[in-house]
Amino acid sequence: MKAAQLPTRPEGAAPVATSRPARRRTPVPTRFLPVIATFVLFVAMFGVGSVRYEGFASGQVVANLFIDNAFLIVLAVGMTFVILTGGIDLSVGSVVALSTMVAAAGLQAGWSAPLTILAVLAMGSGFGLLMGLVIHYFEIQPFIVTLAGLFLARGLCYVISVESIPIKDDTFRSIATGVIELPGGTVITPSVVIALVVVAVAAYVLHLTRFGRTVYAVGGSESSARLMGLATARAKVGVYVISGFCSALAGLLFSFYMLSGYSLHAVGMELDAIAAVVIGGTLLSGGVGLVVGSLLGVLVLGTIQTFISFEGTLSSWWTKIAIGTLLLIFIVMQRLFVGRKA
Amino acid sequence: MSTATPVTFAARARQSRLTWPLLALVALLLVNVVVTPSFFSLRIQDGHLYGSLIDILKNGAPTLLIALGMTLVIATRGIDLSVGAIVAISGAVTCTYIAGAPDPTSASAAIIGLSMALGLCVLLGLWNGFLVSVLGIQPIIATLVLMTAGRGIAMLVTDGQIITVTNPAYRQIGAGFLVLPISILISLAVLAAVAVVTRRTALGMLIESVGVNPEASRLAGVQARTIIWTVYVFAALCAGVAGLMISSNVSAADANNAGLWIEMDAILAVVIGGTSLAGGRYSLTGTLVGALIIQTLTTTVYTAGIAPEITLLFKAVVVIAVCLLQSPRARAALRRGKTPPPVVPDAGTPSAAPDLGVLADVPGPVAPASTSSSHSAQKAGQR
């Protein structure tokens, strides 16, 4: 836990001083403030929606937020790990597409569903592992390595097939169409459960394991973490394996959602994931952030989409503008927040 | 010739960061000659040069132009992800204006339209620069805002439609010829101008000093804020002109697909050319070579009859290869490839072992040739 409060500015920029005046005025620890801000925003947006549109404030609308964004939640969780170490993973969208392709092609070739799922998860983790090793041992910027990963995964999709491949497997279809009824009449899908389990496991790993604390420490200051004798290499490579695994899992959830594998699935989804993580209060310089924040970030993005579909007259491009604007507001807020502490 | 000349040449070639990119470019061109023997042939028709090489230049012009702006941004330790969106906005504004002008075929409509677009691009560049230099937001995230919202803005301008125009004057920018395609002449002119302005004056050095350490350069009297602001405006302007080339080449503005992934191509071109993403050093010649490699690669895939979608795969391979060859770590590993690898203290999970492959004979974080910072790591690792 202490590690999360280590200095968060690895290079240049203003040094972080003690935050005593802020501490006295606010009863909650400052590191929860961004997440609370995101939560307040989410509730406020939902409140506005409920007032403006009939039928907005129903349990099913909330459930749909989770159903439609289950894959994005998983993706954002993986991205949170990477960003906490101060890295970035641009390849996630492409790995999602590659996972849907591998799943669809594997099932078409007659693999059993469990084998396909294992193969996809192993493929994603292996992909992440390779990128992590290159990033760590050759000291090439994560940005450029994962950019190459983006191209590589997208290219491999096309190698498998240029066309869309439908998924006809019974197991996949039953998971895709399966519903779980909650008390109160709202229904969710198995994907939602998987996504929430991922969030819970990620929170556990980040806060209650040695690996998680090392991740925060590396993000705070890699050289300090190394001098403390922490296994920085394992953390730095590990986060990319986790991100790769999460991308593959998100790809599986996406293939449940779409029931097809297609090379053009999830184009630009890495930006949504990064936006969700940033809106959730994680600093891109690393070392500060919570997985719950990323979950809330995804829900905020989902609410924007729900807004636009309820409005009816607004065109889809307003989604992009709205996400951009929110991103801006949040990074400026983060900046002012960090700036005041300094 | 004295024997000294080849030795120093070889030594210099080994030192130069341009050697590998140039070799890669030559290799790509050779592959093309093998696949299509007529690859180098040029012919003149109606006073225009035609040929595969000219195609590469023409299609590579927008990427080169954007990569030039990107080079300067990256030299200040920044990055501009929004250029692709700016390409879309610039084309959208111009085409929407021309299509709605009283006389859509007149040169004046084209000129007013493109000045409006370029003016808007300057504003967008000012915006990016404001976020980065005044608010001090990380460049990658500051420009991500415009990257996400920009395409939405472009679609707002075109109302989600593909706007087509028939304006001969406007068409010249992207599809015109003055012996060579006009687009590549514009890009080369900008390259020359940037080279003169930054390398014949102290500006280039100041840009690099900002990239090395913004705070120190500010204390040393460099106007870091103004310089950062300027490079973002320049990058946006370059992207704007590139957007004009792309939309004028097809006489249409497609807000969804114009300039899609071009920011990635531009960053690749810059990185392949040996400019460090960590800032503080840049090479304009390198960027030129990088942009040519990217475009030649694309053309090669087309001419070799491979599915064009697979270009992405080749790009990935080239990027990784060039980055590895430029990485000091990998170079050190190649040089001492025969010495037995030291045991890596904490090399990830045991399952990593089979995947290590090539990496296996790379010294880990305890490489003897590494910098002083990893010496402390070595001690920490052994403790």
Cβ(B323)–Cβ(B84) below 8 Å: no
B20-27 long-range Cβ contacts below 8 angstroms, 24+ apart: B20/B322, B20/B325, B20/B326, B21/B272, B21/B273, B21/B274, B21/B286, B21/B289, B21/B290, B21/B293, B21/B322, B22/B289, B24/B272, B24/B293, B24/B318, B24/B321, B24/B322, B25/B289, B25/B292, B25/B293, B25/B296
Q: How is residue A275 written in tokens?
A: 């936006």
- At residue B316 the predicted structure's pLDDT band, cuts being 50, 70 and 90, is confident
Give me the CATH number covering residue B111.
1.10.3470
Q: Do A233 and B356 touch (CB under 8 A)?
A: no
Give the structural domain span for B221. Answer: 50-329
- With contacts defined as CB-CB under 8 Å, which chain B residues touch A325? 149
Q: Do B145 and A162 touch (CB under 8 A)?
A: no
Q: How is residue B170 written in tokens?
A: 């406007």
Q: Tell me whether A264 touches chain B (CB under 8 Å).
A: no
Chain A CA closest to residue B268: A144
- Strand pairing of B48-50 and B180-181? unpaired
- Rounded mean pLDDT of chain B? 81
Tell me, what's the ipTM?
0.76
- At residue A59 the predicted structure's pLDDT band, cuts being 50, 70 and 90, is confident
Coil, strand, or helix at residue A188? strand
Residue A338, pLDDT score: 64
Q: Do A229 and B348 touch (CB under 8 A)?
A: no
Which residue is listed with tokens 């990935």?
B316
Q: Which 8-state DSSP code applies to residue A200?
A: H
- Decide if B168 is inside a domain: yes
Coil, strand, or helix at residue B177? strand
- With contacts defined as CB-CB under 8 Å, which chain B residues touch A143? 79, 140, 277
Question: Which among A134, A263, A320 is the nearest to B152, CB-wise?
Answer: A320
Residue B1, pLDDT score: 44
Q: Which of A18-22, B308-312, B341-345 has the largest mean confidence?
A: B308-312
Nearest partner of A37 among A341, A331, A339, judged by Cα: A331
Q: Do A275 and B213 touch (CB under 8 A)?
A: no
How far apart, in whole angstroms, are the C-alpha atoms of residue B370 and residue B359? Answer: 16
Coil, strand, or helix at residue B152? helix
Question: Which among A13, A140, A158 is the nearest to B309, CB-wise?
Answer: A158
Residue B336, pLDDT score: 67
Chain B CA closest to residue A88: B140
Q: Do A155 and B330 touch (CB under 8 A)?
A: no
The residue count for chain B: 383
Coil, strand, or helix at residue A230? coil
Q: How is residue B231 written in tokens?
A: 């490079």
Q: Which residue has the higher pLDDT, A228 or B13?
A: A228
Cβ(B345)–Cβ(B364) below 8 Å: yes
> Tens digit of pLDDT for each residue in A64-85?
999 999 999 999 999 999 999 9
Q: Do B140 and A150 touch (CB under 8 A)?
A: no
List, in sequence order, every beta strand (DSSP E) within chain B: 43-45, 48-50, 163-164, 177-178, 180-181, 252-253
> Tens digit of pLDDT for each residue in A322-335?
888 888 888 888 77
For residue A149, is it left (φ>0), alpha (ψ between -120 and 50) or beta?
A: alpha
Q: Tell me whether A315 touches chain B (CB under 8 Å).
A: yes
Q: Tell me whether A15 touches chain B (CB under 8 Å).
A: no
> Tens digit of pLDDT for each residue in A206-241?
999 999 999 999 998 999 999 999 999 999 999 999
Q: Do B329 and A231 touch (CB under 8 A)?
A: no
Coil, strand, or helix at residue B44? strand
Measured in whole angstroms, the distance separating CA B59 from the mean position of its chain's CA atoms is 14
Residue B232, pLDDT score: 97
Q: Do A285 and B327 touch (CB under 8 A)?
A: no
Question: Which among B215, B307, B329 is the nearest to A162, CB-wise?
Answer: B307
Nearest partner of B94 among B111, B114, B115, judged by Cα: B114
Tally Cβ neighbours within 10 Å of residue A123. Answer: 23
> Tens digit of pLDDT for each residue in A245-301?
999 999 999 999 889 998 888 888 888 999 999 899 888 888 889 999 999 999 999
Tally Cβ neighbours within 10 Å of residue B85. Answer: 31
Residue B118, pLDDT > 80, answer: yes
Residue B313, pLDDT > 80, answer: yes
Radius of gyration of chain A, Cα coordinates, nearest whole angstrom: 20
Question: Which among A137, A226, A275 is the nearest to B364, CB-wise?
Answer: A137
Cβ(A289)–Cβ(A281) below 8 Å: yes
- At residue B372 the predicted structure's pLDDT band, cuts being 50, 70 and 90, is very low
Q: Do A138 and B141 touch (CB under 8 A)?
A: no
Task: Give the percent of chain B with pLDDT over 70.
Answer: 84
Residue B378, pLDDT score: 38
Task: Give the percent of chain A with pLDDT over 90.
Answer: 51
- With contacts defined as CB-CB under 8 Å, which chain B residues touch A155? 309-316
Cβ(A209)–Cβ(A92) below 8 Å: no
> Lowest-pLDDT range, A21-30, A169-178, B11-20, B230-239?
A21-30
The count of structural domains within chain B is: 1
- At residue A32 the predicted structure's pLDDT band, cuts being 50, 70 and 90, is confident
How far apart, in whole angstroms, are the C-alpha atoms of residue B95 and residue B252? Answer: 7
Question: Which among B137, B349, B383 is the nearest to A331, CB-wise?
Answer: B137
Q: How is residue B353 written in tokens?
A: 């072992």
Q: Which residue has the higher pLDDT, B127 or B37?
A: B127
> Tens digit of pLDDT for each residue in B328-364?
777 787 776 544 444 444 433 333 333 333 333 333 3
How far apart, in whole angstroms, are the C-alpha atoms of residue B360 and residue B344? Answer: 10
- Decide if B183 is inside a domain: yes
How far apart, in whole angstroms, are the C-alpha atoms of residue B348 and residue A78? Answer: 18
Residue A24, pLDDT score: 52
Q: Do B324 and A141 touch (CB under 8 A)?
A: no
Residue ranges per structural domain of chain A? 68-265
- With contacts defined as CB-CB under 8 Å, which chain A residues touch B314? 155
